Chains A and B, each alone.
Chain A
């Protein structure tokens, strides 16, 4: 019974992280939500009896994809709307 409740919580976490990642205006938060999707996906792969796929998804989806997104945000804009970038703090190494 408790096993079933935990699996349903994992499903809701994945859908919630996907909705949050699309609707959020601050792009750094959206990247962290994409990392959470990959982490929950790795746990679901393990529960579906596929350990090789879980290793690959945990290493590639969480570590490498997140760091590449963050470096792109460092070199471009931080917020999604254009007028927010001039008012608030704009990221970038100058």
Chain B
């Protein structure tokens, strides 16, 4: 009885939502006469005055950089809450994450693949302003590499203190760049380095520096999450 009522209510809600979205239209330009669209302003300013090739990177780091600082803070709070909820005793030496190591093929293959995955992740977050990619994508790829090593070997450890130090230094770098922009330029996260030419590695002012810091921070955080959850016993 309850299921039929729920299905009926959801069908009515879905009908009205779908009618609204079918009226908007798919693939139209949604322009209103007399109003300058924000999309054109962002696209023109990205290629002309910032000399950055990837528009999404310039929006995330430069035009809406404060929201990225908020997102990094929320991710940090979530990881801290997760570590606080799954409380357990002090980490004994020789504690295993999986019951036994995998077969010979998997262990030797993962030992060869791990540096390649870390190199790919570092390439993705260093070239965030030239091609699709950026800090979050590169950090998650590096965390996936660490997950592969943690699942293949039974005694692979990553120092918890090392991860904490890397994460804290990256966060301090992000906030420090913002405060330096405040002192030097006049507003928080202002661009104070010279913008180079298009498609150069050192172009776009502070955008590569911020994205490298975000890449390191996300990689260290997600590796810590995987490590905490994997060593959780019955």
Contacts and interface: CB of A to CB of B under 8 A. Distances in A.
Complex A–B touching at CB under 8 A:
yes
Interface of A: 51-52, 55-56, 59-60, 63-64, 67-68, 71, 75, 92-94
B137 A71 contact: no
B230 interface: yes
Nearest to B128: A52
* Chain B, interface SS category: helix
Interface of B: 54, 56-57, 99, 124, 132-134, 136-137, 140-141, 143-144, 147, 222, 225-226, 229-230, 232-234
A68 B232 CA distance: 12
A93 B99 contact: yes
A64 to B, nearest CB: 7
Contacts of B136: 56
Contacts, number: 43
Contacts of B57: 52
Contacts of A59: 137, 140-141, 144
Contact of A75 (B140, B144, B232): B232
Contact of A55 (B137, B222, B234): B137
A92 B99 CA distance: 12
22 contacts: A52-B54, A52-B133, A55-B133, A55-B137, A56-B136, A56-B140, A59-B137, A59-B140, A59-B141, A63-B140, A63-B147, A64-B140, A64-B144, A64-B147, A64-B222, A67-B226, A68-B225, A68-B229, A71-B229, A75-B232, A93-B234, A94-B234
User: Top 6 A-B pairs ranked by shortest CB distance?
Assistant: A51-B132, A59-B140, A55-B137, A52-B56, A63-B144, A52-B132
